[in-house]
Amino acid sequence: MSQLPNDDLFEATRMTFGEHLEELRVSLFKALGWLAVGTAFGMLLANNVVQMIQRPLVEALETYYNVKALDELNDQYGEDPAQEIKDLVIKKKFIPEEVYVEINELKRLAKEFNASANDDGGGEIEIHPDSPPAPNSQFYLTRIWRKLSAEVTSLNAQEVFMIWLKAAVVTGIVLASPMMFWHIWSFVAAGLYPHERRYIHIFLPFSVLLFILGACMAFFFVFRPVLDFLFGFNLKMGIDPRPRIAEWLGFVLFLPIGFGVSFQLPLVMLFLERIGMFTVSSYLSRWRLAILVIFVISMFLTPADPISMLLMAVPLTLLYFIGVGLCQWMPEVNRGLDAPDGSK
């Protein structure tokens, strides 16, 4: 009994489920290979990367202690500190600290100071081994100024090594991202018609650019507002922050990756529209639902604070409508070429 002819010209090129799994395995293996290469280079840059990622945290800590010092001076004296005091605190990074000094100790220091003033010592360094006098209960309250030191702590020996290793891996992801995206898009292209695969060559460079743009936005525009917001609660509650480098590392390294991946939204929308899964009208008719989904995803991809969620959700909302605009106005690349009906 004869069989009816198959009108699908691409029937012979279809892949089975097992072949798709094999293609996925090969693509992931190649992507992991490039990740290993990137991580090897990342190990050479890990020290510099760790120093760089600490910078926003250290700057936020310095701002916290500066604001705290000026507020304490304002509360104590009931007036705004003079400009020279503000410059001393903010620009030169000195903070005041009140201490109690024993009267007998002050007398001893005054005696030592007078003796040193009368004898310049010939430029040699002198050490006075005299021990302080016996403790007494008479004190003078005085103020000293110390150089601000915003430190990030580590609680165990192996923590620093894990920080270095994580920094190397994340640096490797950034360095290897172009080739990793290439293999991921190649796997997607394996399930497409030839006329649809042409979009891969357009999407790949834009995909890498959007990933880097998202990561840079997280590092340069998100960290400081989030840290200032969180440290503001420390200031109100009177609890000084003592951040651990391991906890900060998880925040500062993986949040940019979340931003970079989420910034692929316009390309994903354009790709789905070009292969016929969605249309411009469907994107526009469901924009309220899309924004709700964006805010929910941002809530899971960012720490538990509203500032970081908004800083991700608002750009993604803008990118959603940019994606709609790309679908509407971006010229189609040979759409219909080599289509199953044979039209050009």
Q: What percent of the chain has pLDDT over 70?
A: 80
Residue 20: how many CB atoms within 10 A of its CB?
13
Query: Strand, coil or helix: what is 344?
Result: coil
**Class of residue 12 by CB neighbours under 10 A (exposed 0-12, middle 13-18, buried 19+):** exposed
Residue 139 has pLDDT above 60, yes or no: yes
Phi-psi region of 336 (alpha: psi -120 to 50; beta: other; left: phi over 0): left
CA pair distance 31, 54, nearest whole angstrom: 29
Statement: residue 3 has pLDDT above 60: no
Residue 312 neighbours by CB distance under 10 Å = 26
Say which residues have a Cβ less than 8 Å from residue 299's Cβ, sequence separation at least 6: 309
Beta strands in the chain (DSSP E): 94-102, 139-147
**207-226: per-residue pLDDT in tens?**
778 888 888 888 888 888 88
Percent of the chain with pLDDT over 90: 5
Domain locations along the chain? 19-58+156-329, 61-147
The mean pLDDT of 73-86, rounded to a whole number, is 82
| pLDDT, position 317 | 92
pLDDT at 61 over 80: yes
- CA 238, distance to chain mean position in Å, is 27
Mean pLDDT of the chain, nearest integer: 79
- DSSP string for residues in 230-279: HHHHHHHHT-----BHHHHHHHHHHHHHHHHHHTTHHHHHHHHHHTTS--
Q: How much is the pLDDT for 192?
A: 64
- Please, which residues bridge with residue 145 across strands? 96
Q: How far apart are CA 262 and CA 301, in angstroms?
A: 9
- Going by C-alpha positions, the residue among 321, 315, 293 that lies closest to residue 214 is 315
Tokens of 5: 């002819």
Backbone angles phi, psi at 50, to 5 degrees: -65, -40
pTM, to two decimals:
0.64
The average pLDDT across 4-28 equals 62
pLDDT at 7 over 60: no
User: Would you state the pLDDT for residue 344?
Assistant: 41
What's the number of CA atoms in the CB half-sphere (13 Å) around residue 246? Answer: 9
Across 52-61, 105-114, 274-283, 308-317, least confident range: 105-114
Residues 243 and 153 sit within 8 Å (Cβ to Cβ): yes
Q: How confident is the model at residue 196 (pLDDT cuts 50, 70, 90)?
A: low
Q: 116 or 160: which carries more pLDDT confidence?
A: 160
Q: Which of 202, 204, 158 is nearest to 184 (CA)?
A: 204
**Per DSSP, which regions of 75-173 are E strands?**
94-102, 139-147
The DSSP result for 175-218, as a single string, is HHHHHHHHHHHHHHHHTS-HHHHHHHHHHHHHHHHHHHHHHHHI
Q: What is the DSSP letter of 100?
A: E
Question: Of 32-36, 52-56, 137-141, 191-195, which range is least confident?
Answer: 191-195
From CA 253, how far away is CA 174, in angstroms rounded?
11
Give residue 109's pLDDT: 79
> Are 263 and 311 in contact, with CB atoms under 8 Å apart?
no
Predicted pLDDT at 292: 92
